[in-house]
Homo-oligomer: A and B are copies of this chain.
Amino acid sequence: MPDTARDKILKQSLIFSSLNADELAELSALAIERRFQPDEFVFWEGDAPDYFYIVVEGRIKVRKYASSGKEFIIAFFGPGEMFGEVAVFENKPYPASAQTAAATRILGIQKDKYLSFLANHPRVAISTINVLGGRLRDAQNRLKDLAGERVEQRLARTLLMLSAKLGPTLPFTRQELADMAGTTTETAFRITSQLKEREIIRSVRGKITILDADKLRLLGEGPPQV
């Protein structure tokens, strides 16, 4: 019996939205489902890439460790989003580790199977190209930010980026925010503390709420030169 919830996620997923019911069923047949508890690892940086994945339910954190031991969070992914794709499309080891941030269900599709599927479904190939293009754009934006902006700007932009995806209430700790913006917990705290005083954000343990996105956007633009 087909799993309709699974098909629904596939259908809603940006990459597969162009498929009809038959094609979705075909794709669905290729996929295996895996379930994880919070904080389990789906794969580790350096693992051989057999599968790429799509989140059905829950949340995935993709992280990479610097030589100093410090970690950097490359991205979070939620339902309908794919991850682990860089490794698969390049046939090299996973460049980062994927860890669940909640109880999570994911669909895995074997590399070779997906590649032949793509060969027969050019629209999906083009969708995949679009998704990768978008990720590349995001990555380049963040590169520029990390290279040229102050921590305050980086944090403001990180918050805005997350909020664009997840809405005004963000389920992240300061630690995670710091790891996404490329700074330390303490500095992240000091800055967010100021933002709280200025009533731009609010925060409780593990959650950050954006109160005034406009002011945050101004902050992200640059130092208050006037």
Contacts and interface: CB of A to CB of B under 8 A. Distances in A.
Q: How many copies does the complex hold?
A: 2
A16 B92 CA distance: 21
Given A68-B149, A144-B66, A90 B122 contact: no
Contacts of A120: 122
A96 to B, nearest CB: 7
Contacts of A126: 115, 118-119, 125
A145 interface: yes
B125 A74 contact: no
Given A95-B137, A129-B132, A143-B143, A148 B90 contact: no
Nearest to A122: B119
Contacts of A71: 148
A59 B112 CA distance: 35
A68 B147 CA distance: 11
Interface residues of A, number: 53
A222 B67 contact: yes
A98 to B, nearest CB: 13
B125 A66 contact: no
Interface string A58-89: 00000011111011101000000000011011
Contact of A67 (B143, B146, B221): B221
Interface of A: 64-68, 70-72, 74, 85-86, 88-90, 92, 95-96, 115, 118-120, 122-123, 125-126, 128-130, 132-137, 139-150, 153, 181-182, 220-223
Among all A-B residue pairs, the 10 with the closest Cβ atoms? A147-B182, A66-B148, A89-B133, A139-B139, A67-B222, A125-B125, A132-B132, A146-B146, A70-B148, A119-B122
30 contacts: A64-B144, A65-B144, A66-B144, A66-B149, A70-B148, A72-B147, A72-B148, A74-B140, A74-B144, A85-B133, A86-B136, A88-B133, A89-B129, A89-B132, A90-B133, A90-B134, A90-B137, A118-B122, A119-B126, A120-B122, A122-B125, A125-B125, A132-B132, A132-B133, A135-B136, A139-B139, A139-B143, A143-B143, A146-B182, A147-B182
